[in-house]
Amino acid sequence: MLAPLYRRVSWRLMPFLFLCYVAAYLDRVNVGFAKLQMLAELRFSDTVYGLGAGIFFIGYFLFEVPSNLLMTRTGARIWIARIMISWGLISSALMFVDSVASFYLLRFLLGAAEAGFFPGIILYLTYWYPARRRARMVALFMSGVAVAGVVGGPLSGWIMQAFGGRYGLSGWQWLFLLEGLPSVLIGVWTLFYLDDGIRAAKWLSEDDKLQLERAIAEDGQHQQRLPLAQVFLSGTVWLLALVYFLFVMGLYGVSFWLPQLIRNSGVKDVLDIGLLTAIPYSVAAVVMVLAARHSDRSGERRWHAAAAAVAGALGLVAATIYSDSTVLAMAALSVATAGILTTFPIFWSLPTALLGGTAAAAGIALINSVGNLAGFASPYLVGAIKDASGSTANGIYLLAASLVAGAVLVVTRRLPGT
């Protein structure tokens, strides 16, 4: 029975990886809270904010595949530590933004620094877990997004309210400084805590290592080990990238605009907004883990992912329809956030079941980098639509349509593991 051994591995790895992702996601999206103050202070438009929030993903796109390939050469421990330390320093440096150009530059550099972290962790999990156990592990890891929302909302609101004006710094400047430094410290910790893989783990016995390696080897018999060039020509990889792009459109609609949607419902105090953002993310943290567990046990991926995406779309639409009621808007946003976040751990069970070896490193990074271009498109389009129409609603409808389109592709097109 491998269950006790995998529990031991999970208790060793998952809390730490979860903590890393909380820090990563917090530093990526805290600009959504900074927006509540910095736009007025720096006289930025919603279009400028949307482009600045999204330009992160241009740097992310350009450096994602090279970063993941470098991790296979340097090892996970050193490379993940490097990623975390560099992005933490750049995230803190956003406190010095004083112009549109500096805002765009630092957001681009933040994306370049963080490139490779998420696909690197997804690849790293394939070193430890076979496909039949992976959706649960990805869900536990990605629940860091939900917890970053639960913790980050109240924390960001409190920092901006409690520290605003101290030592001549605005609340949004303190936000970037105090939320960037923990990533640097965790990055240093990574050097001492993380192992490159099963064989390097000193806390496992030789028999434990052999059992885990045997499970990974058996899983690898069903994977494709394509030459690197063929990964970039694979129709299946590009189809997965398109599906991921459509799902990510919805994800960053929530991540970057949730505080604004709550404010639109009538809540004005930044601390109250921060506290209320914890509700949708708390619901999502539970739902995504339960859904991923059910998907692993049933072995079914297609309908799980599609149903979650459609639920997310319906939640976004309902949140705009009932935007004048805080209670109804929060209920709808909870459904939207839970649905959207649940699509991701189930989705990532598909490419990791298909690809192995260097093909996995390149394919996972390619899918993630192309998909995350939606992180550029999503906030920019919503911001531009709001500036043009005076309402956020039309932009949110676009994001809901993207989620439904992704669900349709998952259901109607043949994908691996479905």
Mean pLDDT of the chain: 84
Q: Residue 307: which pLDDT band, with cuts at 50, 70 and 90?
A: very high
In angstroms, rounded to a whole number, what is the distance separating the alpha carbons of residues 13 and 225?
Answer: 26
- Is 413's pLDDT higher than 70? yes
Q: Report residue 415: phi and psi, to 5°.
A: -125, 155
End-to-end CA distance of the chain: 27
For residue 355, what are the β-bridge partners? 224
Amino acid at 133: R
Amino acid at 123: L
In angstroms, rounded to a whole number, what is the distance separating the alpha carbons of residues 131 and 302?
Answer: 15
- Residue 225 DSSP label: -
> 110-122: b or e for each residue (b if 16 or more CB lie within 10 Å)?
bbbbbbbbbbbbb
pLDDT for the residue 181: 92
Domains (range + CATH), the chain:
9-220 (1.20.1250.20), 234-417 (1.20.1250.20)
Taking each helix axis from N to C terminus, what angle separates 100-114 and 76-93, rounded to the nearest 10 degrees? 170
pLDDT for the residue 131: 74
134 or 159: which carries more pLDDT confidence?
159
- Compute the C-alpha angle 36/42/46, nearest 5°: 55
pLDDT for the residue 141: 84
Rg (CA), the chain: 20
- Residue 45 DSSP label: -
- Compute the C-alpha angle 30/35/41, nearest 5°: 135
In angstroms, rounded to a whole number, what is the distance separating the alpha carbons of residues 362 and 92?
Answer: 30
Maximum alpha-carbon separation in the chain = 64
The alpha helices in 76-130, defined as continuous H runs, are 76-93, 100-114, 117-126
| Contact predicate 334/270, CB 8 Å | no
Q: What are the tens digits of pLDDT across the range 80-134?
A: 999 999 999 999 999 998 899 999 999 999 989 988 888 888 889 888 988 778 7
Amino acid at 297: R
Phi-psi region of 234 (alpha: psi -120 to 50; beta: other; left: phi over 0): beta
| Contact predicate 110/90, CB 8 Å | yes
Region 148-154: what's the mean pLDDT? 75
Q: What are the tens digits of pLDDT across the range 189-247?
A: 999 999 998 999 999 999 999 999 988 887 655 555 556 566 677 778 888 889 999 99
| Contact predicate 261/317, CB 8 Å | no
